[in-house]
Amino acid sequence: MLAAPINRLITELSRFPGVGQRTAQRMAFHLLRVSDAEALALAEAIRDVKEQVGECEVCFNLATEPRCRICTDDRRDRHVICVVEDPSDVISLERTNEFNGLYHVLGGALSPIDGVDPEDLHLAELADRAAGPEVREVVVATNATTTGEATALYIADALHERAPGVTVSRLASGLPVGADLEYADEITLGRAMRARRALD
Amino acid sequence: MLAAPINRLITELSRFPGVGQRTAQRMAFHLLRVSDAEALALAEAIRDVKEQVGECEVCFNLATEPRCRICTDDRRDRHVICVVEDPSDVISLERTNEFNGLYHVLGGALSPIDGVDPEDLHLAELADRAAGPEVREVVVATNATTTGEATALYIADALHERAPGVTVSRLASGLPVGADLEYADEITLGRAMRARRALD
């Protein structure tokens, strides 16, 4: 019932995660309504991002140059590397202003059931970096999910062998700020209890 | 902190209605993650839609030809015109399979406070069409909002003058199917009461 180009646009828009047929249709009609300039600015932005943005050759974060902005920043602490699954995790951590070291983007988490094995992630490159003379600590900031936890354990093992002098740490588990005990699951609450801290 | 092309993409994506900064960022990272082919297919689809889709010269519905598929369809009943605010409303009504006439897309609803006056909508063209020899009924299917209702009244007045022989009708107001009386607002419930029908 819709013209072919509109149907094709709806199909393409519905590939976004969390965007169903209905939302994609609304988005398509929005693009039909706005000026050509505004719609084409989006098309152009997509094209530019795919042409200009690649991976940092050191940490695999997003980069428009061979090395990313963090790797080339002299003010960052080169003794600590924070390991994350995806480039978006770098943004989340940078927003906290709690970390001033370097990053290493794995490109996912280990999940043999989905066919993601160690050689599919940037794990060998992490071991090489961690074995370098400058690195003192590797903070494993993979997700607190089954696959993220498995990846963290794998990294701890691998680095224990390849970079024995390096401390491997993991983000704390516990109650999210603002959370009610009543709604916390027992695993989170149990970890929060085990990792309790003295109040000074 | 993000590279310029990524920021620009996030800005463009956040122009979609209901898409905030956070969602736009997630969408941008999705586009960064997928293949070039998939991302560029979206850019291409946007471009195609803006190049190939225009307005029907008769009813102002979306069309890839001078006249839309409905206006050129011989099986449609040319005695009835259904007036809607936007092209997406045509899709919603077509999905009901309850209407086999023609449409007329106004391009919005009257809203003097937002600067939308009669001459900003396709109202003159509607009066011309309604005054034609074939038309017997105009169904006003503008939204059941303040502006939609005001537009419906305006149309009823205008057609009373320009096309006195034409019946002007309005979509029924009442309880949406599946609704609880408890949660219905009193205006809707009042209208449902006033427009009650005999059960046969």
- Residues B94, B157 within the same domain: yes
Find the mean pLDDT for residues A65-88. Answer: 95
Q: Is the pLDDT of residue B192 over 90?
A: no
pLDDT tens-digit map of A87-122? 999 999 998 999 999 999 999 999 999 999 999 999
- Binary contact (A43, B48; C-beta < 8 A): no
pLDDT tens-digit map of B137-173? 999 999 999 999 999 999 999 999 999 999 999 998 8
- Residues A119, A39 within the same domain: no
Residue A161 lies in a domain: yes
- Residues A110, A147 within the same domain: yes
pLDDT tens-digit map of B39-70? 999 999 999 999 999 999 999 999 999 999 99
Domain coverage including residue A166: 75-170
Reduced to 3 states (helix: H, G, I; strand: E, B; else coil), residue A65 is coil
Residue A182 lies in a domain: no
Q: What is the pTM of this model?
A: 0.80
B159: burial class by Cβ within 10 Å (0-12, 13-18, 19+)? buried
Closest by Cα among B162, B75, B165, B156 to B125: B162
> Phi, psi (5° rounding) for residue A140?
-90, 110
**B110: region left, alpha or beta (phi > 0 left; psi from -120 to 50 alpha):** beta
Chain A interface, best mutation among B7, B46, B47, by max A CB count within 10 A: B46
Q: Flag whether residue B72 sits within 8 Å of chain A, measured between CB atoms.
A: no
Residue B141 lies in a domain: yes
Residue A115 lies in a domain: yes
Distance from CA of A6 to the nearest CA of B (A): 6
* Alpha carbon distances (Å) from A175 to A148, A186, A198, B149, B195: 18, 11, 16, 50, 54
- Residues A103, A147 within the same domain: yes
Taking contacts as CB-CB distances below 8 angstroms, the residues of chain A near B1 are 69, 91, 94
Q: Flag whether residue A106 sits within 8 Å of chain B, measured between CB atoms.
A: no
Q: How many domains does chain B have?
A: 2
Residue B87 lies in a domain: yes
Distance CA B130, CA B142 (A): 17
A:115-154 residues touching chain B, CB 8 A cutoff = none
- Binary contact (A64, B91; C-beta < 8 A): no
- Residues B114, B146 within the same domain: yes
Distance CA B27, CA B11 (A): 11
Average pLDDT, chain A: 93
> Phi, psi (5° rounding) for residue B80?
-125, 135
Contact between B146 and B176 under an 8 Å Cβ cutoff? The reply is no
Q: For A111-148, give the DSSP string.
A: BGGGTB-GGGTTHHHHHHHHTSSS--EEEE---SSHHH
> Phi, psi (5° rounding) for residue B141?
-115, 40
Residue A197 lies in a domain: no
Average pLDDT, chain B: 93
- Residues B24, B79 within the same domain: no
- Residues B142, B109 within the same domain: yes
Structure tokens at A51: 């042409």
Distance CA B135, CA B133 (A): 6
- Residues A95, A150 within the same domain: yes
Eight-class DSSP state of A171: P
Taking contacts as CB-CB distances below 8 angstroms, the residues of chain B near A62 are 2-3, 6, 32
Q: Flag whether residue A159 sits within 8 Å of chain B, measured between CB atoms.
A: no
- Residues B79, B34 within the same domain: no
Residue B84 maps to which CATH number? 3.40.1360.10
**B195: region left, alpha or beta (phi > 0 left; psi from -120 to 50 alpha):** alpha
Distance CA B166, CA A113 (A): 66
Q: How confident is the model at residue A69 (pLDDT cuts 50, 70, 90)?
A: very high
Find the mean pLDDT for residues B75-86. Answer: 96
- Residues B106, B161 within the same domain: yes
Q: Flag whether residue B172 sits within 8 Å of chain A, measured between CB atoms.
A: no
Distance from CA of A45 to the nearest CA of B (A): 5
B:16-45 residues touching chain A, CB 8 A cutoff = 16-18, 23, 25-34, 36, 38-45
Residue B146 lies in a domain: yes
Residue B9 maps to which CATH number? 1.10.8.420
- Binary contact (B62, A6; C-beta < 8 A): yes
- Binary contact (B5, A52; C-beta < 8 A): yes
Residue B70 lies in a domain: no
Residue A138: how many other CB atoms lie within 10 Å: 25
- Residues A41, A111 within the same domain: no
Distance CA A173, CA A188 (A): 7
* Alpha carbon distances (Å) from B179 to B184, B185, B186: 7, 11, 13
Reduced to 3 states (helix: H, G, I; strand: E, B; else coil), residue B165 is coil
Distance CA B91, CA B68 (A): 13
B35 → chain A, closest CA residue? A50
- Residues A44, A79 within the same domain: no
